[in-house]
Amino acid sequence: MSSGIAFVNGRYVFKKEAMVNVEDRGYQFADGVYEVIAVSNSRLIDLDAHLDRLSRSLAELEIAWPLKRRVLVLIFSKLIKRNNLKDGNIYLQISRGVANRNHSFPKTRVRPSLVITVSKFGRPSDKKFREGVKVVTMQENRWSRPDIKSIALLPNVLAKEFAYKKDSFETWFLDVDQTITEGSSTNAWIVHPKGEIVTRELGTKILGGITRARMVELARSAGMFVTEKPFSLQDALSAEEAFITSTTSLVMPVIEIDGKTIGSGRPGPVALKLKKLYEEFCIKGGVK
């Protein structure tokens, strides 16, 4: 459920009344970047990592920071307070700004547009976590830089709709060599029968998920064996377990891929343990 007050280009406004310019390059060209940051018990989870990734996305697209980083954090805190947000997400979007429609960057200085909204209760149901979810696959059809958290998400939107139509939770993209890259809005993981936990390595083929990075760290600290490398659809189908991670799905067990049962067909011990570790981290971690 989305929540009342947003921050739009320098002002706190009711979201219902908030407007963006029709010549905004975000609207016209998807020329912008975004972040989704979890709020747990009114605390921002992995804030620095999200802002570091934002900084990188902006730099890759040569978009300037619209505000100083510490001012942005103050706005987050204000929005959390004003919306009385306990558990939910912050959505932040920065576009290159408003200019007459012309594909190349504006040649005069334009101010990047900044929109921040909050939403409550963005998580999947407990039932989904308890029972696990189904995943389908489709051929990778995104641009070659999904490591940049760009707002150009049409292939991701179509992939998520493809999953929905197949009564599934997520679509995993298949690279030309039939390895899995990631999901439409999540990172993909499997657990080999001998206990090795595998997720695709960082690079240009996937978004470097903040939840993914946190899980790698938490799992290794707990003595679990994590390898960051490609895995194939075949590997996934013969895995003991599979799961996905993201800010909004946390650690979600996957019990079926393309109609084939994974492992026991129930959420496995590794996914459940990682979910517990992540929840414990969210209780202790985060900044107010």
Q: Is 171 in the site for ligand PDD (CB under 6 A)?
A: no
Per-residue mark of binding to ligand PDD, 105-144 (x: CB under 6 A): ----------------------------------------
Window contacting ligand PDD (CB under 6 A); options: 2-10, 210-218, 228-236, 252-260: 210-218
Judged by CB, which is closer to ligand PDD: 137, or 186?
Answer: 186
How many residues bind ligand PDD (CB under 6 A)? The answer is: 15
Query: What is the amino acid identity at position 175?
Result: D
Q: Quick one: which of 85, 207, 219, 254 contacts ligand PDD (CB under 6 A)? A: 207
Judged by CB, which is closer to ligand PDD: 102, or 154?
Answer: 154
Q: Is 187 in the site for ligand PDD (CB under 6 A)?
A: yes
The dihedral sign for the CA sequence 203, 209, 213, 216: negative
Q: Is 88 in the site for ligand PDD (CB under 6 A)?
A: no
Please name the residues in contact with 10: beta carbons below 8 A apart, sequence gap of 6 or more: 114
149 included as an active-site residue: yes
Q: Quick one: which of 88, 209, 230, 268 contacts ligand PDD (CB under 6 A)? A: 209
Q: Given the residues 149, 160, 205, 275, select the one marked as catalytic.
A: 149
Per-residue mark of binding to ligand PDD, 28-67 (x: CB under 6 A): --------x-------------------------------
Judged by CB, which is closer to ligand PDD: 209, or 267?
Answer: 209
Q: Is 212 in the site for ligand PDD (CB under 6 A)?
A: yes
Interface residue list for ligand PDD (CB under 6 A): 36, 156, 182, 185-187, 207, 209-212, 245-248
Residues labelled catalytic: 149
